[in-house]
Structure 1
């Protein structure tokens, strides 16, 4: 035991490097083994290898042996390296625990020196760009093609790299075939979308292809099915994998050409929105269609911007503006990148628009400036301003509208320069009777006057008779129906608040307002708050919150119980419960004796 324990102490520390071969082609790999013996600990510093080599794989192991009572322990690191360039390359000294390896030299010869181009290569990588002079933030396609004559046993393609730009893979790989110098190749295409983030030269480093190609059958083990295929002439099993092939093959590394594009700066920098694209369209839709604008009723406006040659992240924010006389509740915009050979982006914005007053409503213009990369000039997508008429709320008296045929009543009659004023026709009234026509034989004006006087006489007689029947000279009081309507609306409001249903609460409040002001009902919750005066000012936030809970995207959180506690005393004070009840609203059936 003492000898075994003393063995490692006497072992010498050693750290060495060894290559499996000293000459390799540029598209092949080589294996570097590092061995450390004795008491060396830690991990070797492999940073110096990155200058001329790329580390593809790395593994480590250790072993212990006893010889003549001496214990020795060895650790080994196995590195698979791919040369970055052709020429005479050097494995620099590597350090471990204060000990260094000796440098090793390897000769890297160009792959297929006798081949002109890539026609004779069994597998290679080709890279292309569709635009060599894009603008900053202008997206363009970077295409990677892998071409091979024989199906590789295994193939791994790394990602391209570009400093100062974003790369995003687009869609699935596409397969096709192509003939190059009389050789038929299978082509696998992979597309990337590149968006440069700064102007100046942009270099895109080609991805690396690592493939394991099958060795020639004549050089390897003979398949037991070879004789079985011969009698069939065309070898029907030649495309099936060899069950006795345990995965041996020739490993190759291929890279495409690094490409450099010149990114142009933004023209007229500082003008705000910068959207380079091939085409931009701005459209709108209404729900319901066609829209009907009425006080207190929401109308949904959907704005859509579509840009070809841009990504969704580049689309600007749409600003519909806030028209005077309406409340606007926008939803969060939705963006998406549409599939297709060319990048196409879509942004959708939905807005709930609630008119607050009747009359004319002006929707402001919407503008989206963009840069036409095809014509190389600035353009603007526009939805022009529009004027719409808002109808009053149900039950509210409408403003007098002009009659299409009665244009003379809408404005003063103006005679033409060559027309005698005596020839100007008289204005017609709302009854549609043309008084300028004196040739009529029917006495309609006199009949109308007679019936009007008869109706007035009947009305006067009825009022005098009802006053005499009352016996007390009191005027009939206001009927109780509005008060009963207010009570019913308050009950519905309480139920809606308890159930946290903002839509039902809003409808109950509007019904309460209709019962409270039957001849001039409120146009919305904001109008109710205005009519309630100081008390309405205290509850304005609550009424506004109800509107937001109804029309805001997804329904904003709403505390119905708290809203009812704040609204109940206000409605009681300003409603029928706060006014003195009328006395004897209807006359008695039998007259009461006086005294």
Structure 2
């Protein structure tokens, strides 16, 4: 029997929720940020401007500065309560559709949301595009395109499917089947905007995919398909017809996949562009003191899973400790782009001179069909003696100016909505805290009384089912971190094993054991990460193949006490 909630308990829970939200709004400073769903559009298209604020007192953004360069439409807003960073907070999201009045580089100006202000956003507007489909003018049609029609094997290709609809859609489903000989994975959320084609206004749904060819030769991509229903007009509603059926298919497309060139560098890394830079460098080094150095790599035409790890060259007389890589993946100009950032702590062991050799990363330029090398300059320091007392400290890094500026998703500095002064704030926080503790005690007492009354609590049953394999494992091998791949494989064993060495001993297939060795080399020994992923993908396509479990061995020592013998009677 499940106990019913009493009115007193409901009141106590609601009051405690309000008090906790008040505490959160006082303790956590409000933040506001703005971003657009696309940073490059064509003249006549719309782009969605999103504004998010965590302020307790919400006021609608002031859209007046936008009217100079944009036409505005489609204002929406929603408010929700979320849990982030271990705290509950209220979040409000505003969205508005912007249609530029001119082409070129247009700035979305800063907007005020109450007392807070968003950051400016740069938007590139291309001249009006001509209708790219012969079916422009139809009620609904589909376009599909790749960012490269003749890619290389294992090159990341951006595949975009656009659904055009001149009539409002009530329901529908857009499908894109994967081709044979390549992996196809959906990337990000759908982008929705307006576009003028053939004298008609279309609503466009743009869906992005990541296409990775696995073998050379012709690659036929199945056409995308749409089925749905459109909204009916006045006479349709009068006659009982709620909208006509709509269907569309994209035109068939094929790509010509090129093989890996015989003179290509290894590991094989086909890209559109690659840039390396020091995001920050330590101003000085001191023996026994940790200094921070941050390296950034921006790859155009790849995902984080395809990139080799960022590793610093060896520094004589110093230890280097690397933090996990931070990856920021986006879809720009119809193809993937990733920014990798990694922080290193450099700890010199002695005073004197220290030199960091320039980091290098070799890649293949798919547009020029040539080998390229991205590199960083070497750094030299004069290491100072250890401070008196030998206490290790951290040296603040010196920011390195960047040639490019981030234009999407800039967050404004944190600001507080309500500014209480000194002692008053302390007393208010203390009063709210005591009120919250009192309400918590009240609810706990009520809950304890209901428990004594005989409420039965259901306990979840333990599960012995193995973790999901197949598609999940393939996706993890394609895009996951090598550490996550190792953890997933170890968890698939029954019983689970602690490390890859134990897993290797449990596998019965030689190819799978070889794939585990390649994974170990790529993870720790500087092996070929791309080749390791390919070997793992082939070896574990059908799941792990385990050895038969041996019978329980006889214990090497006799039992401490002899077994009792049955007594003889008679």
TM-score, normalization: structure 2?
0.41
TM-score, normalization: structure 1?
0.39
Q: Which has the higher contact order (CA 8 A, sep 6+)?
A: 2
Of structures 1 and 2, the larger Rg is shown by 1
